[in-house]
Amino acid sequence: MTPKRNFLAKILALFACAMLLAVARVRFADAQDQAGPQKSAAALDDRALGNALCSIVYQADRFPSPRGYRYIFYGNGFFINKDGYLLTAAHVLSQLRGGQPSLLLRSPGAPPRFVQATVIAVDRDHDIAILLATPNPFAGNFAVSFLTLAHDSPKPGQKALAADARPVRPRDAFTLDPAIEERSAGEVLEYQFSQLARGPVDTELFLFGHAVQPGQSGAPVISLDSKEVVGLVEGQWLRDSTTALAAPSDHLAPGGAAPVSSGQAAPIPGAVIPIHYAIALLQQKGIAWHAAAEESARSDQAGDATTPPNQPVPFSLVPAPYPQSLFGGEVVLDAFVSRTGALSDITVVSGDEPFLDKALAAIRTWTFVSTRTANDATEPRISITFQFVQPYAPPRSPTIHEYEAGSPYSGQDVAAQPIKTVEPKYPNTSSADGSVILYESIDREGQVASVQAVSGSESLAAAALSAAHEWRFAPARRAGVAMDSAAIVVFTFRHPLATAPKR
């Protein structure tokens, strides 16, 4: 190519880039308008948001062409701290098939540059991956920033924004080519469970009222209220949202690949991985993340009068899906809460399949805030009960379960053990499946001193709270002495059927 043509090509490329950026800014403004007024929160800083995004790519050329270096685009990621750690969806990396991932980052006054990305951890069951940019771009001449992670899951009806950056030609892109930055507003619709990988582990996803575009996988979804990341884009939800829980994985299109149109009028919603699973993986690896709400949540809950002294406070919990069973079930667990807030030494007090697998898979992603003093070196044990409420009205059998205290335990340090549990009645005002997670304070007599809803369906919460007040426990013991303690109870409901099946 002659110098003159080379010059003209660069001018045209810059003009095209400016036009696309203008379109992206208009889309961002439209997204903000569609989301409605947010009087309680400041506007998003779009420049900082754009600087936190990074394209995950494979560098195809070692030497530049007139259009820069060639690369293949696979998806999005975003920085979570100034040490250069970032999050993405695990299936974005699997598309590289073992190739070295790189990040395409912007530099002030210079073309975008590649930075190598090291894979730190991958949770394929929940489609989460942690990467580390090397060298750290926050210590170099790059336009980078990081995003804040939320500690609460968004509620249905909450407004959110998906932010992504991608080239016009993902499989044949060059560093000097224009890129698209898109901001897509939508509403959190509902929660569904899915098996994202082969195996029994379920992931709780929330459906997002925005049709996911190809290349948006791994992009952050940000609450327009808190301005914190509440999830990562997984793909498109290709199945009717009224299907039962634990639906097979063929209802997702990873990477946002558009399905063949079926004539439906409503846009296909996106499926989003709640940030809960990323926080659990970060905690396991001892990686800090930025969370503006974390310290206030820690101080508020740790200082709550209903929290037993030196007992763990829930930070991020998810329920378990109702398994493929025609009957209800109950699982009782006893576990340590470490100083890092993770569960360990999980003991099964009672519970059978298929309920036990669902409960164990769920708690392995739970995180807590430790409220112990510096002088308390003992890790507390906590009682955890999953109750899968039998879905028949009238009930197939009595809704009161009784246990013999103490028989499943060995040793002197034990969590409070339920000896009487009462199943809640499905409320007439509700019509959906759902779960409610409760945090209970158990006194040294085994009585429920206080109970509060941590998360879950508001339409089912009153029934769960009413039933929980009727539970009785054998008190927790440390060195053989009864003591105050904490318990977590997870009620999972199914909309009741008219008649119960015969065994």
CA distances from 459 to 291, 431, 491, 493 (A): 29, 9, 13, 11
* Cα 181 to Cα 178: distance, rounded to the nearest angstrom: 10
247 plus 347 within the same structural domain: no
CB-count burial class (<10 Å; 0-12, 13-18, 19+) for 160: buried
Tokens in use for 406? 């103490």
Residue whose structure tokens are 């996911």:
212
Query: Would you say residue 283 lies in a domain?
Result: no
Query: Would you say residue 226 lies in a domain?
Result: yes
What local confidence, expressed as pLDDT, does residue 197 receive? 85
348 plus 306 within the same structural domain: yes
pTM of the prediction? 0.84
Residue whose structure tokens are 């709640």:
274
CA distances from 68 to 9, 59, 181, 412 (A): 12, 11, 20, 68
Which parts of the chain sit beneath pLDDT 50?
1, 4-5, 7-42, 241-250, 256-265, 294-299, 302-303, 305, 407-410
Query: Would you say residue 203 lies in a domain?
Result: yes
Q: What is the torsion angle, in degrees rounded to the nearest 10, for the CA atoms of residue 397, residue 402, residue 408 and residue 413?
A: 140
Cis peptide before 427 (omega within 30 of 0): no
200 plus 64 within the same structural domain: yes
360 plus 474 within the same structural domain: yes
208 plus 297 within the same structural domain: no
Residue whose structure tokens are 């989301």:
35
Specify the DSSP class assigned to residue 434: E
Q: What is the DSSP string of 436-461?
A: EEEEEEE-TTS-EEEEEEEEE-HHHH
CA angle in degrees (0–180, nearest 5) for 416-420-424:
110
Per-residue pLDDT reduced to its tens digit, 199-258 = 779 999 999 998 888 899 999 999 999 999 999 999 999 875 433 322 334 456 655 433
* Cβ atoms of residues 217 and 256 within 8 Å: yes
230 plus 351 within the same structural domain: no
Query: Would you say residue 281 lies in a domain?
Result: no
Burial 342-377 (b: 16+ CB within 10 A, else e): bbeeebebbbeeebbbbbbbbbebbbbbbbbeeeee
Query: Would you say residue 83 lies in a domain?
Result: yes
H or E segment and range at residue 194: strand 179-194
Considering its fold, how many domains does the chain have in total? 2
Query: Would you say residue 279 lies in a domain?
Result: no
315 plus 268 within the same structural domain: no
Q: Which of 245, 160, 264 is nearest to 208 (CA)?
A: 160
304 plus 221 within the same structural domain: no
**CATH number of the domain to which 207 belongs:** 2.40.10.120
Beta bridge pairs of residue 58: 72
What local confidence, expressed as pLDDT, does residue 198 receive? 76
**CATH number of the domain to which 459 belongs:** 3.30.2420.10
Domain boundary among 274, 305, 331: 274
What local confidence, expressed as pLDDT, does residue 281 receive? 96
Query: Would you say residue 127 lies in a domain?
Result: yes
265 plus 341 within the same structural domain: no
Domain boundary among 274, 306, 339: 274
Cis peptide before 354 (omega within 30 of 0): yes
Domain that holds residue 164: 3-274
Query: Would you say residue 9 lies in a domain?
Result: yes
303 plus 446 within the same structural domain: yes
Cα atoms in the 13 Å half-sphere on the side-chain side of 272: 34
187 plus 101 within the same structural domain: yes
240 plus 313 within the same structural domain: no
What local confidence, expressed as pLDDT, does residue 362 receive? 96
